Amino acid sequence: MTSPIFVALSAFAEHDREPLRMLESSGFAFQLHRTGKRITTAELLAHGREAVAIVAGIEPYDADTLGRLPALRCISRCGIGVDSIDLDAARARGIVVLNTPDHPAAAVAELGLTMMLALCRNLPRQIARARQREWTRLEAHLLGSRRLGLVGFGRVGRRLAELLRPFGAEILVADPAITAVPSGVSRVELGRLLRECDIVSIHAARSADWPLVIGREEIAAMKPGAILINLARGGMLDEQALYEALASGRLAGAGLDVYAEEPYHGPLCELENVVLTPHSATLAVETRSAMERECVANVLRFLRGDLPANGRIV
């Protein structure tokens, strides 16, 4: 095969056939991962060994794996994060890494807003009691009455701030990479944000300049009765410390879509005051389809030599 493409995604073109049509009409040979499950390293090495370009999910591409994919010259990540790719090793081997950071922002921000509303209105507990046929009215709050803290103010954080604006809530953000914020948003240090906010929502990117971890000390610094949400990276939050704060009643609730180890089956599953989703923040049908189209387009531009000089290369 000339310039072969391997699609390593567990699901591809399920709701929109256009990404598959783009491959079929491209003139390049391609192969799909068809198990319906996240690809293993063994499967990646077996089926992607001859690939020049891989349409990638969140499977790991460490230095050893990249060294065993001798033909590989392009990884086109379907999504924002590239934490699972050893970027230094990729550059050393001349492998271009591309991603699709724009489309997921709306979907992740909407999930963040949904979690905030659900936890403010105590919906996880209300739903659990209703299923037990208990008629129990629990304390609830208006989102607009809460002081909201966004840790990280990139694409997702900015979109979430836009969604929150009509509620009238005060919004604080902590992000050392930014110097200016829109009207109605205040930039503060992380310590102040943790101390003063009723809801803390993590949207930071992994960065050597800001190796963010919300650990036991940071959780202890939060307001009693606060809510903590993590839609960024699992390793940024100490899940055991969070569990203890929730179980003791010191924190009122939490929402998580990412975890240190996935699939997650830990003790947070036992609590009524949490919203847990299976790393699915970007999986709105419209968002997934748009990411797959862009991901395939990135591969085809690379193979045709059409990447613009100022194109998005991670």
Residue 76: enclosing H or E segment and its boundaries?
strand 74-77
Domains of the chain: 5-102+284-304 (3.40.50.720), 104-276 (3.40.50.720)
In this prediction, residue 312 carries a pLDDT of 58
Catalytic residues: 233, 262, 279
pLDDT score of 302 more than 50: yes
In this prediction, residue 161 carries a pLDDT of 98
DSSP assignment of 134-167: ---------GGGSEEEEE--SHHHHHHHHHHGGG
pLDDT, the chain, mean: 94
State how far the Cα of 242 lies from the Cα of 252, in Å rounded to an integer.
11
Mean pLDDT, to the nearest integer, of 101-126? 96
Q: How confident is the model at residue 225 (pLDDT cuts 50, 70, 90)?
A: very high
Q: How many C-beta atoms lie closer than 10 Å to residue 115's C-beta?
A: 28
Helices (H), 71-215: 87-92, 104-120, 123-131, 155-164, 190-196
Q: How wide is the angle at C-alpha 170 spanned by C-alphas 250 and 123, nearest 5°?
A: 50
Q: How confident is the model at residue 3 (pLDDT cuts 50, 70, 90)?
A: low
Q: How many C-beta atoms lie closer than 10 Å to residue 114's C-beta?
A: 16
State how far the Cα of 198 lies from the Cα of 140, in Å rounded to an integer.
13
**Structure confidence by residue, pLDDT tens digits, 81-95:** 898 999 999 999 999
**Structure confidence by residue, pLDDT tens digits, 143-157:** 999 999 999 999 999
In this prediction, residue 208 carries a pLDDT of 65
In this prediction, residue 1 carries a pLDDT of 45
Q: How confident is the model at residue 45 (pLDDT cuts 50, 70, 90)?
A: very high
In this prediction, residue 310 carries a pLDDT of 47
Mean pLDDT, to the nearest integer, of 104-133? 96
Q: Which of 78-87, 91-100, 207-216 has the lowest mean pLDDT?
A: 207-216
Q: What percent of the chain has pLDDT over 90?
A: 90
